[in-house]
Amino acid sequence: MADQCATGRTNDLRPLAGLRVVEFSQMVMGPTCGLILADLGADVVKVEPPKGDRTRYFKGPAAGFFATYCRNKRSVAIDTSSTDGQAVARRLIEKSDVMIENFRPGLLKRTGLDYDSVASFAPHVIYCSLKGYLPGPYENRLALDEVVQMMGGLAYMTGLPDRPMRAGASVNDIMGGMFGVIAIQAALAERQRTGRGRYIQSALYENNVFLMAQAMMYETVTGQPSVPYSVKDSPWPVYDLFDTKDGSKLFVTIVGEEQWQAFCRAFDREIWLSDPRFASGQDRVDCRGWLIPEIASIFKQWAKAELSAVLEKLGLPYAPVNTPGDLFADQHLNASGGLADIRLPDGRSARTPLLPISMDGQRLQNRSDPPQIGQHSQDVLNELGFSSIDIAKLARSGAIAMTTG
């Protein structure tokens, strides 16, 4: 696999180098799992049907799925419905360390690529299934992020009363892929001792329930029902969205005693420091009905940039309300190297967020752009021991497809 991206930059930070992962997945959850492993340096071979992963052709809000989750991967196009294609897939799995799949329950059993079949010829492989539900009464149901957000309480906590609302990102798909990576790495560590693989699962619904642990425990501890964040009382003195003079909005928090004192002194409200109504943080919470409109009137006199500069100097946590498109110009992301240059499969240049981690101060880079359909079919099959004649025959039969990068 090439270690140089389209821009010519190189990066040798590959802690999982030497690990081969075969990814049978689509949409978000499985590709996220593969992306994390690929960014960490694993050789992730994405198996696509000859016509390509369907997310390549999505439009509307899902138009960016493939480009977002398929960098640093190699593409092999295999028709797993054919006998020859299944044989190629089995050879690939046998020569891999990890297999990822996120298809509906029972689908891979038809092609002999289910866990029991794989374990019979490749017992060393860590087989990661990413599903809607873990084993139990719901395990054969199909699920989407919205489905589990509704049944798992997240939509209730996000929306207005009687108007549940989906969170603005595929939170369960992405986190479900992350938990898949955690389990894979645990199974790899175990395999160093035992030499055997594991069947591991991660699921959307259980991920969502884990997100709700705080709210569930709140109900246990207090005996009170959870209240959506849109209308719940804040447990903090100041934890609110404020208008500025130029029509922008800033989210500002003033929580601790030092923050409160700094705010009062900077905005000519030192008299509040001796006001018994505001003697403690809980007192200020109790007086939010009066205090928040007063602070709102103060902030309304300031333009966004000026107010941001003061809050920054004071060390008060604050944030503008950005759109996703605003993030391309974010000074921190650009200065810290948090956005990577990639070339899309259609040839256009783009920028995309890197994994939100650093290692010894280095970010994990884009080493290779999202691949064309079957771009690496020939290379991978050569590595598996197929001759040029074998590969040409497989291509003629339609068992595999190849394109050039």
Domains identified in the chain, total number: 2
Contacts of 122 (CB under 8 A, 6+ apart): 90, 93, 94, 96, 197
> Residue 403: is its pLDDT beyond 90?
no
> Residue 232: is its pLDDT beyond 90?
no
- Note down the domain range covering 257: 238-323
Co-location of 26 and 64 in the same domain: yes
Query: CA–CA separation, 316 vs 281, rounded Å?
Result: 16
Co-location of 292 and 383 in the same domain: no
Query: Each residue of 169-185: pLDDT tens digit?
Result: 999 999 999 999 999 99
Co-location of 27 and 157 in the same domain: yes
- Residue 91 belongs to a domain: yes
DSSP-derived secondary structure for 128-179: EEEESS-SSTTTTS---HHHHHHHTSHHHHHSBTTB----SS-HHHHHHHHH
pTM, 2 dp: 0.90
> Residue 263: is its pLDDT beyond 80?
yes
Whole-number pLDDT of residue 404: 65
Co-location of 289 and 374 in the same domain: no
> Residue 137: is its pLDDT beyond 60?
yes
- Residue 3 belongs to a domain: no
pLDDT, averaged across the chain: 92
Last residue of a domain, one of 290, 308, 323: 323
> Residue 158: is its pLDDT beyond 60?
yes
Co-location of 150 and 91 in the same domain: yes
Co-location of 86 and 193 in the same domain: yes
Helix (H) or strand (E) holding 377: helix 377-383
> Residue 287: is its pLDDT beyond 90?
yes
Query: CA–CA separation, 33 vs 69, rounded Å?
Result: 9
Query: Each residue of 43-86: pLDDT tens digit?
Result: 999 999 999 999 999 998 888 999 999 999 999 999 999 999 99
- Residue 30 belongs to a domain: yes
Query: Each residue of 88-105: pLDDT tens digit?
Result: 999 999 999 999 999 988
- Residue 345 belongs to a domain: no
Query: Each residue of 325-349: pLDDT tens digit?
Result: 999 999 999 999 999 999 998 889 9
Whole-number pLDDT of residue 233: 77
